[in-house]
Amino acid sequence: MNIRFRLIPYVIVVFTLMNCTNTLSNETNVSLQTDIIRIKVDSLLKIMTLKEKIGQMNQYNGFWDVTGPAPTRGGDAEKKYNDLKNGLVGSMLTVRGVKEVRAVQKIVVEESRLGIPLIIGFDVVHGYKTLSPIPLAEAASWDLEAIKKSAQVAATEASASGINWTFAPMVDISRDPRWGRVMEGAGEDPFLGSKIAKARVEGFQGTDLSASNTIAACAKHFAGYGFSEAGKEYNTVDIGTSTLHNIVLPPFKAAVDSDVKTIMNSFNDLNGVPATGNAYLQRDILKGKWGFEGFVVSDWASIKELVVWGYAKNNKDAAKLAVLAGSDLDMESHIYVSELENLVNEGHVDEKIIDDAVQRILTVKYELGLFDDPYRYCDETREKEVINSQANHEAVLDVAKKSIVLLKNENQILPLKKEGQTIALIGALAEEKNSPLGSWRIASKDSTAVSVLEGMQQYTGNNLIYKKGADVSVGSTSFINEVKINTKDKSGFKEAIKAAKKADVVVMVLGEHGFQSGEARSRTDIGLPGVQQELLEAIHKVNKQIVLVLNNGRPLTINWASENIPAIVEAWQLGSQTGHAVAQVLYGDYNPSGKLPMTFPRNIGQIPIYYNHKNTGRPENESGTPDFVFWTHYSDVENTPLYPFGYGLSYTSFEYKNLNLNKQSFQINEDVHVSVDITNTGDLKGKEVVQLYIRDLVASVTRPVRELKGFELVELEAGETKTVNFTLNKNLLGFYDNNGNFIVEPGDFKVFVGGSSYADLSKSFKVANNLPR
């Protein structure tokens, strides 16, 4: 019997409420729809057994071919299968494809007592089949609409394949490029990270979560994961409350304010308490102070890992600590379904805690429309039409071009001439069709990217010679295995050098393999892997007209290249359309406009290095003598980064002038209006990301030397001038104190506007009020 027929006492009430929605305003209508869902959820909770409730808090990974015979040989697989039939599973992950999803959904809907549908989760991080650039690359576009569109493409394809929930976006702020998962986030800045979090949540979820082409988003990892010590995966985190509230939490708050439906907690501890068992994070801040109404899912087996951390005595203790702390859904620990019932019956966990978690999970299922139609995401015709469509590839090509950052271009070696030259294309990554897909693309088919070689072959006016030079990796690469780097084989150097000698220009595609970044891909040396640096220097000896195209998932230490190579293009791992995007930028059919979302260090010893650092008490060599030692610096390298946050060049040039404020003194509740003129002083049309930073000169908690508080992407014809306007309100001038309270203090401020975090056009202003500090 279908579940709708088991809820007869509530049908009349709900039907009456639904009939009222046609005559109400949108805001009231949304509120009424929420009330309807609440009534439905409450009614369902009343007829659920405790065991069934706990089943909704249990998530299993796909464990057998669901379109084939059911497991019958005992063991874990058969137990999971029986749990599905008995209503003891609320969600599954990594089950994908319409046939597979329909099959597993059919088991719970038609065979379990209540027929509650599953929510199907998957890591749709930067696309499903058609892949966008890795998220860090997308962040370099600073184009929020393009990033939102990228998430929409991912949601459209994933939902067409039966999936209705993604474990994305990752909104962790990180200052350490050794951490492999920087590729999955938006970089080092909380303001930019917050804007991108909002764009991605809105892209995934759309305006109607019940539509068949949207999916529930999941902001992760809550919280502090990006500050893992030494950039090492799954490591401890030790940060102060100022960093927590001002740097780590703002993107999560932006996601919650954007109505993100789920939050994933993290593998790290914070103040000695693992995040999965951290009530301060999940109960006090997320569900309490912020009023988050969705549900919290653990990361993979992180509830069980409470025991390994030494925080829980055993699995039973781990279940208790996690559920009391606010973890609603257990991903692949199998602990809730085995331990929670006894904990409730023994009085260790109040059933109201269970009810709260289940209410949150069921609400999202209702909002997804799964109760109205459990198979709404299971349309095989739509799956065939949507996956890898031409429109999707056009969208990811667009964001790929926007994600490329021009780091250096001496003597205008770029753009390349379209005819009459011999161009040597060197580097194994130039012909790679797998690596450019990047990490976290587990649904996409291997080796489906357009290679840089293929992209450049579309331009037929030059004589293009390709030579590999040297492999980056040795043997096969996969999502679950370490990448073995080529540190010895230089047998291809000779042919590459020979080609370079004949060339007018050499394009070298070097960097990391796509699986050298991502989860568990921490590195202590973030230079060019293997023999690539030697290859670069060998080519440079015979031809100095080199364009270095970087493929990578993190900032790299490329100090030698920056000093010696005339043109450097940061091309990241750009997904399915990598080759076309790179070629169109190299040949000038697209003028690069990307800006770095993360600082590039000069060497590994500078890490962590980030633009919004504190001033310290001794920021400068005040004596002015070269050998004076007692100030904040290194003895072997300057303090500045190789390339700062917000930096990126264009094939044209821009001039900033006439920075103005509407006045010099403001009350706390007044808006500060800032304007600046920007002129395209070059010969080509181009885009520039105009960036605004502030500095709070004196505060009760020391503030950074600069903080990004606004940006606008402006397109200008050659010679054109535009006035760009910004508004600084009290929400942008304030900060969080060490107790997590947002405050705005009177005092002196400076505002900076320009094309990077090194913007030098500045004005001062004062904020005053009659409130005590």
Q: Which residue has the higher pLDDT, 11 or 227?
A: 227
Q: What is the pLDDT of residues 177-219, one digit of tens each?
A: 999 999 999 999 999 999 999 999 999 999 999 999 999 999 9
Distance CA 757, CA 527 (A): 24
Q: Which residue has the higher pLDDT, 480 or 150?
A: 150
| Domain shared by 379 and 521, yes or no | no
Select from 585, 605, 625 the last residue of a domain: 605
Q: Are 568 and 405 in contact (CB under 8 A)?
A: no
Q: Does some domain include residue 392?
A: no
Q: What is the pLDDT of residues 312-348, one digit of tens each?
A: 999 999 999 999 999 999 999 999 999 999 999 999 9
Could you tell me which of 204, 163, 569 has the C-alpha nearest to residue 400? 569
* Mean local confidence (pLDDT), 482-502: 97
Distance CA 45, CA 360 (A): 11
The pLDDT, as a whole number, for residue 74 is 80
The pLDDT, as a whole number, for residue 359 is 98
Give buried/exposed letters for 69-84 (b at 16+ CB in 10 A, else e).
eebeeeeeeebbbebb
Distance CA 276, CA 305 (A): 9
| Domain shared by 358 and 448, yes or no | no
| Domain shared by 173 and 209, yes or no | yes
| Domain shared by 555 and 667, yes or no | no
| Domain shared by 378 and 407, yes or no | no
Residue 32 — very low, low, confident or very high, per pLDDT cuts 50/70/90?
Answer: confident
Percent helix / strand / coil, the chain, rounded to 5: 35, 20, 45
The pLDDT, as a whole number, for residue 9 is 40
Write the single-letter amino acid at 158: A
Select from 605, 640, 665 the last residue of a domain: 605
Average pLDDT, the chain: 95
Q: What is the pLDDT of residues 670-693, one digit of tens each?
A: 999 999 999 999 999 999 999 999
* Mean local confidence (pLDDT), 69-82: 87
Distance CA 532, CA 498 (A): 17
- Which phi and psi angles does 519 have, rounded to 5°? -60, 135
Q: Are 702 and 206 in contact (CB under 8 A)?
A: no
| Domain shared by 430 and 534, yes or no | yes
Residue 21 — very low, low, confident or very high, per pLDDT cuts 50/70/90?
Answer: low
> What is the span of the domain harbouring residue 452?
403-605
Residue 771 — very low, low, confident or very high, per pLDDT cuts 50/70/90?
Answer: low
Residue 403, pLDDT > 50, answer: yes
Q: Does some domain include residue 644?
A: no
Distance CA 610, CA 668 (A): 29
Q: What is the pLDDT of residues 597-613, one digit of tens each?
A: 999 999 999 999 999 99
Q: Are 158 and 206 in contact (CB under 8 A)?
A: no
The pLDDT, as a whole number, for residue 23 is 58
Q: What is the 3-state secondary structure (H, E, C) of 284-308?
A: HHHHHHCCCCCEEECCCCCCCHHHH
Could you tell me which of 608, 615, 605 has the C-alpha nearest to residue 637? 605
Q: What is the CATH number of the domain that holds 311?
A: 3.20.20.300
* Mean local confidence (pLDDT), 481-499: 97
Write the single-letter amino acid at 326: G
Kindly state the DSSP code that residue 272 receives in the 8-state scheme. T
Q: What is the pLDDT of residues 607-660, one digit of tens each?
A: 999 999 999 999 998 888 988 999 999 999 999 999 999 999 999 999 999 999
Residue 72 — very low, low, confident or very high, per pLDDT cuts 50/70/90?
Answer: confident
Residue 149, pLDDT > 90, answer: yes
Could you tell me which of 271, 276, 301, 300 has the C-alpha nearest to residue 286? 276
Distance CA 651, CA 594 (A): 12
| Domain shared by 593 and 727, yes or no | no
Tokens coding 677: 């003129």
Whose tokens are 């809105």? That residue is 202
Whose tokens are 């055993």? That residue is 314
Q: What is the CATH number of the domain that holds 731?
A: 2.60.40.10
Q: What is the pLDDT of residues 503-521, one digit of tens each?
A: 999 999 999 999 999 999 9
| Domain shared by 252 and 143, yes or no | yes
Least confident of 59-73, 108-122, 561-575: 59-73
The pLDDT, as a whole number, for residue 6 is 43
Residue 29, pLDDT > 80, answer: no
Residue 571, pLDDT > 70, answer: yes
Q: How far is CA 134 from each of CA 140, 397, 435, 484, rounded to the nearest angstrom?
A: 10, 13, 12, 22
The pLDDT, as a whole number, for residue 1 is 41
Q: What is the CATH number of the domain that holds 530?
A: 3.40.50.1700
- Which phi and psi angles does 199 have, rounded to 5°? -60, -40
Torsion of CA 562, 565, 566, 570, to 10 degrees: -60
Active site residues: 299
DSSP sequence for 19-75: HHGGGS-HHHHHHHHHHHHHHHHHHHHHT--HHHHHHHTEEEE--S-TTSPPP-S-H
Residue 10, pLDDT > 50, answer: no
Q: Are 305 and 272 in contact (CB under 8 A)?
A: no
What angle (nearest 5°) sits at the alpha carbon of residue 656, between those of residues 652 and 657?
A: 145
| Domain shared by 601 and 667, yes or no | no
Q: Does some domain include residue 614?
A: no
Question: In the beta sheet, which residues pair with residue 424?
Answer: 465, 506
- Tell me the HSE value of 752 on the side-chain side, using a 13 A CA sphere: 16
User: How is the beta sheet containing 672-680 ordered, strand by strand?
Assistant: 654-661, 672-680, 721-728
Q: Are 127 and 156 in contact (CB under 8 A)?
A: no
Distance CA 459, CA 369 (A): 48
Q: What percent of the chain has pLDDT over 90?
A: 91
The number of beta carbons lying within 10 Å of the beta carbon of residue 26 is: 7
Question: In the beta sheet, which residues pair with residue 585?
Answer: none
Select from 571, 605, 639 the last residue of a domain: 605
Residue 289, pLDDT > 70, answer: yes
| Domain shared by 377 and 407, yes or no | no
| Domain shared by 563 and 690, yes or no | no
| Domain shared by 291 and 360, yes or no | yes
Q: Does some domain include residue 422?
A: yes
Could you tell me which of 743, 767, 757 has the C-alpha nearest to residue 693? 757
Number of domains present in the structure of the chain: 3
The pLDDT, as a whole number, for residue 550 is 98
Write the single-letter amino acid at 693: Y
The pLDDT, as a whole number, for residue 4 is 44
Going along 207-303, which residue ranges are E strands? 218-222, 262-265, 269-270, 273-274, 295-297
Distance CA 398, CA 340 (A): 49
Q: Does some domain include residue 520?
A: yes
* Mean local confidence (pLDDT), 217-230: 98
